[in-house]
Amino acid sequence: MKLGVFAVLFSGLSLEEMLDHIQSKGLETVEIGAGGYIGDAHCKPAELLKDEGKLKAFKNAFDDRGIKISALSCHGNPLHPNKEIADGFHEEFVNTVKLAEKLNVDTIVTFSGCPGESDYSRNPVWITCPWPNDFSDVVDWQWKEKVIPYWKEQQQLLEKHNVRVAIEPHPGFVVYNNETAKRLRKECGDKIGVNFDPSHYFWQGMNPAQAIKDVGDSLFHFHAKDTQIEPRNTELNGVLDTKSYKDIANRSWVFRTVGYGHGENEWRDIISALQVIGYDGAISIEHEDGLMSEDEGFSKAVSFLDNMLIREGAKNLWWA
């Protein structure tokens, strides 16, 4: 496993400045934002696909520094009930897949998407309970009419370009836990796997280490981000919290830099679980901590995780 970073953290820097900065921290991999909700500050697939000179310069920026791209990320909602919005996200996804092939990057990270409750919806509808029965009917309709047909088509696109997609389970989208992630893969194809972010599991009350073992070899990419649970607010209001992320004092939970939500033992269990399933990809640091600056959170995450990673030499023990 190699320590890396999700580069949208440094969207205010140029590509070269961002790469120099992460290289100074000793990192070997980087995840690059290529559109969707996260933006495309360092990578604009449509432009790079049209201009061989820009594409070569982009690739050389990484090669010259010995930094590998772990994934291209375009977190969007291609199932949005507003066709114009959905089409925009879909186009970004397709361009990102095509660019990944040209860059020899094997993984795209995105969300599953979430449709409305019918063909007449204006906004996505995410269901959190089975009753009244209308809710169960909506979930069934979403999967059969929207989710499965769309991702079956994307499986064919991924096969054509020899790229795989790591769907990030996240509440608000149809894939939000292991069960839904495994269903999507089973229904639509093995080019579809998981981008595992423990922070999304922590705040739903799940055990990330056990969930990693359950996902197994369909875990394609990994985000290193933590969640701090505020006990009193959670005991009073539960974990379904729609208050602003800025309202830190009153929320039931907030995203934190690794080690500031859960301690060393929990994170060692997570890293060990990745080793158990044979994951040897990037540990991509993601920063959404409202109590730390970008560089402070990044630096503390690097220090916290670096001595936990299982290096290649650990596989060469005499009894292995």
Report the percent of the chain where pLDDT is more than 70.
97
Domain boundaries, the chain: 2-313
Q: How far apart are CA 224 and CA 285, in angstroms?
A: 5
- Position 89 pLDDT exceeds 80: yes
The model's confidence at residue 320, banded by pLDDT at 50, 70 and 90, is very low
What pTM, to 2 d.p., does this model score? 0.96
Residue 317 has a pLDDT of: 47
Residue 310 has a pLDDT of: 56
| 285-313 average pLDDT score | 88
The model's confidence at residue 308, banded by pLDDT at 50, 70 and 90, is confident
Burial status of residue 107 (CB atoms within 10 A of its CB: 0-12, 13-18, 19 or more):
buried
Q: What is the largest CA-CA distance in the chain?
A: 63
Query: pLDDT of 45-64, one tens digit each?
Result: 999 999 999 999 999 999 99
DSSP 8-state secondary structure symbol assigned to residue 262:
S
Please give the mean pLDDT across all residues of the chain: 95
Residue 44 has a pLDDT of: 98
Q: How large is the C-alpha radius of gyration of the chain?
A: 19
Q: Which of 118, 113, 96 is nearest to 151 (CA)?
A: 113
Query: pLDDT of 238-255, one tens digit each?
Result: 999 999 999 999 999 999
Locate all alpha helices (DSSP H) within the chain, ordered by sequence: 15-24, 45-50, 52-63, 83-103, 133-141, 148-161, 178-188, 198-202, 208-215, 231-237, 264-276, 294-306
Q: CA angle 290-294-299, nearest 5°?
A: 115
CATH 3.20.20.150 assigned to 2-313: yes
Q: How far apart are CA 302 and CA 310, in angstroms?
A: 14
- Position 318 pLDDT exceeds 80: no
- Position 195 pLDDT exceeds 90: yes
Residue 255 has a pLDDT of: 98
Report the percent of the chain where pLDDT is more than 90.
95
Give Cβ neighbours of residue 282 (< 8 Å, ≥ 6 apart). Answer: 1, 2, 3, 4, 29, 31, 70, 71, 221, 222
Query: pLDDT of 157-184, one tens digit each?
Result: 999 999 999 999 999 999 999 999 999 9
Query: pLDDT of 202-228, one tens digit each?
Result: 999 999 999 999 999 999 999 999 999
Query: pLDDT of 149-158, one tens digit each?
Result: 999 999 999 9
Residue 6 has a pLDDT of: 98
- Position 309 pLDDT exceeds 90: no
